[in-house]
Chains A and B, each alone.
Chain A
Amino acid sequence: MGIEFRHVEKTYPDGAQAVRDISFTVPSHTTTVLLGSSGCGKTTLLRMVNRMVDPTGGQLLIDGEDIAGAEPVRLRRSIGYVMQHSGLLPHRRVIDNVATGLRLNGAARGPARSQAEELLELVGLDPALGRRYPDQLSGGQQQRVGVARGLAGDPNILLMDEPFGAVDPLVRLELQQQMKRLQTELRKTVLLVTHDIEEALSLGDQIILLRPGGEIAQAGTAQELLSAPADDFVARFLGVAQGRRRLRTSAGQDGEWVVTDAEGRPLGVVEAPPGPVHPRADPSGSVPPEDGR
């Protein structure tokens, strides 16, 4: 169940191969992240799910049914879609933007609007903002509206294309945290595209790391990817090789524990001191001091 990619390929008429022989499953009610740098075919894969792009080979199944036979417009109305820069309709008020999908599915204006107001609240926006036009909102607010619109009609599947890529880091963090909270409550089947490693590690139950040329480099949980990178590419992409994600703790001056990366750059402080089972947790301070550069 969920979304299943079976040996999916995409070759464009000019011969460019965006995606080659990709197979993976997005299990129901979990979040799968397609991670990779630009040009690795991740957005192409995402858009196959609602038939914005049709594969040239292989099959795509939703809950066991091949979507090649599904009518694209109807399919899209049953799947939530959130994109970078929100993609809101500039000539529609915020409330009507959120209500769009409901209206397309045949809801009357009144009920659609009141449902849209509830959705605005769900994503942490004052429903009064619904009266405004999208460009009267901040980037972060627009992005929240985009999420609300994606959730309208309570779709089982939510597709997210770099949903938080265009907002500043602080707002991005807030949006990611909210997404996590929402997901524990709503349990959608989410397929999310990003090139942001932090975002992938924080949101993905499963991460599919793609390499340039449209192939899967490694698929697994964040822990699996970090602790056992399949090859050099994965290790380099995640920053394991450069030591960015090999962390150490060392005792600070006032007895607190400081976390540093392999180069000795401090990253943060440990709140609960590591227990005695930890090899580096000897409180006597026998941690080999990093020759901090």
Chain B
Amino acid sequence: MDWILANTGRIAELTLDHAALSLPAVLAAFLLSVPLAVLANRLRPLREPIVSGTGLLYAVPSLPLFIVLPIILGTGIRDPLNAVAALTLFGMALMVRSAAEALDAVSAEVRLAAAAQGYSSWGRFWTVDLPLAGPAMLAGLRVVSVSTISLATVSAVLGVPSLGSLFTDGFQRGIMESVLAGVVMTVVMALILDLLLVLSGRLLMPWARRRA
């Protein structure tokens, strides 16, 4: 406990670093996955390659990916951007399928009715398809957010600071409190983001609660 009290500044700093890695990755994974999911659903023959292909990204071991990415991106190996890029790819591995299935599950009858009312296909996407796929997409996004925050700790192995640095330092120097603080803060951050996602879902989709 003494160690933690003596190191609150460092823990806070690493928490911010951790957030700076995982939050942009979650956002980017979501923003990139939705258009890919739309493309997958529109071009039926490409659906499986796109959905399964991105899904396979998850099978790539994280450590090699962190090392290979800098070579592809041309950034330094300790650049936080690498970590963000890698986390985004892992997030997409989960999110593309989730978004594609959510959009696919929107009732054909409602879509037909909307078309008959005179929605253009673009207008229908924004005002009918996307909101109605919202609850299922949110479920996918919650998994992505939790998994990204937990995965971001790996960056510490490469020397990109995050809450994972509390694990690596703690192990090397035999400070149990450090490891524990890292675990607790990671879980707390995951829970807070999850809560925020659920709340914004309620705010943005007030109709969904009644249907549950």
Contact = CB atoms under 8 A, between A and B. Distances in A.
| A interface residue count range (under 10 / 10 to 19 / 20 to 34 / 35 or more) | 20 to 34
A144 interface: no
Given A87-B112, A90-B207, A91-B205, A81 B132 contact: no
B115 A76 contact: yes
A243 to B, nearest CB: 38
B127 to A, nearest CB: 8
A74 interface: yes
Q: How large is the interface on B (under 10, 10 to 19, 20 to 34, 35 or more residues)?
A: 20 to 34
Given A87-B109, A133-B210, A135-B211, A50 B114 contact: no
Interface stretch (B26-34, B116-124, B174-182): B116-124
A85 interface: yes
Contacts of B128: 89
Contacts of B107: 90
B110 interface: yes
Interface of B is mostly: helix
A187 B120 CA distance: 29
A100 interface: yes
Contacts of B112: 52, 83, 87
Contact of A89 (B110, B118, B123): B110
B201 interface: no
B46 interface: no
Given A75-B118, A90-B132, 17 more contacts: A50-B116, A52-B112, A76-B115, A76-B117, A76-B118, A77-B118, A81-B116, A86-B113, A87-B112, A89-B128, A90-B207, A91-B205, A91-B208, A100-B117, A104-B119, A133-B207, A149-B117
Query: Which 9 pairs from chain A and chain B are nearest by CB?
Result: A87-B113, A77-B118, A76-B118, A81-B116, A91-B207, A91-B131, A104-B118, A133-B207, A73-B120
